[in-house]
């Protein structure tokens, strides 16, 4: 058995270089990307503009434009906006690329010595979406109540 340091020395294990050092990251590009976490079909997806995702089947035709308003969070550079449960006014616009069925899986049930065998196939339907834009809501400034109304509310 060769020790771990021996494997490195022998060249059997290669050390992967880090993706990028902090000084090499393009901070302007990272801050310009807007990311959203949206919910559809009981699942949550983290998306950027231009991403292509596969979601549970939606009632939409190929080529339709969808607006998904069940946005849980919006990440814009250093600013993170989260909702309770959804961000008010935030939406994700997507185009339906196609709808179809996934590859067939076989469900096989068997109980030994009982002559019980059941074979069933299943193809899960899906909708392929291309994310076009992410729109974040502007936080509304809270308006202070006038002093007269505040006095009436107390009485």
Q: Across the 155 residues of the chain, what is the mean pLDDT of every consecutive 10-residue run?
A: 48 49 49 85 94 95 94 90 91 95 97 97 96 80 52 57
pLDDT at 71: 94
Phi, psi of 103 (to 5 degrees): -65, 145
Q: Give the strand pairing for 91-101 and 65-68.
A: antiparallel
pLDDT at 37: 94
Phi, psi of 149 (to 5 degrees): -70, -35
Note whether residue 13 is domain-resident: no
Note whether residue 80 is domain-resident: yes
Classify residue 28 by burial, with Cβ atoms within 10 Å: 0-12, 13-18, 19+.
exposed
Note whether residue 142 is domain-resident: no
Q: Supply the range of the domain harboring residue 66.
A: 32-137
Note whether residue 150 is domain-resident: no
pLDDT at 33: 82
Q: Percentage of residues in the chain with pLDDT exceeding 70? A: 67
């Amino acid at each position: 058995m060769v020790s771990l340091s021996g494997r490195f020395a022998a060249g059997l294990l290669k050390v992967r270089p880090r993706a990028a050092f902090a000084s090499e990251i393009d901070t302007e590009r990272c801050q310009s990307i807007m990311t959203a976490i949206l919910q559809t079909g009981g699942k949550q997806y983290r998306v950027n503009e231009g991403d292509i995702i596969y979601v549970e089947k939606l009632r939409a035709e190929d080529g339709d434009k969808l607006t998904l308003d069940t946005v849980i969070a919006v990440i814009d550079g250093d600013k993170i906006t989260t909702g309770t449960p959804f961000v008010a006014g935030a939406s994700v616009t997507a185009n339906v690329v196609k709808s179809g069925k996934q590859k067939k899986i076989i469900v096989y049930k068997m109980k030994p010595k009982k002559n019980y065998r059941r074979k069933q196939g299943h193809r899960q339907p899906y909708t392929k979406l291309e994310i076009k834009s992410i729109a974040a809501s502007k936080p509304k400034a809270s308006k202070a109540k006038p002093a007269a109304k505040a006095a009436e509310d107390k009485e």
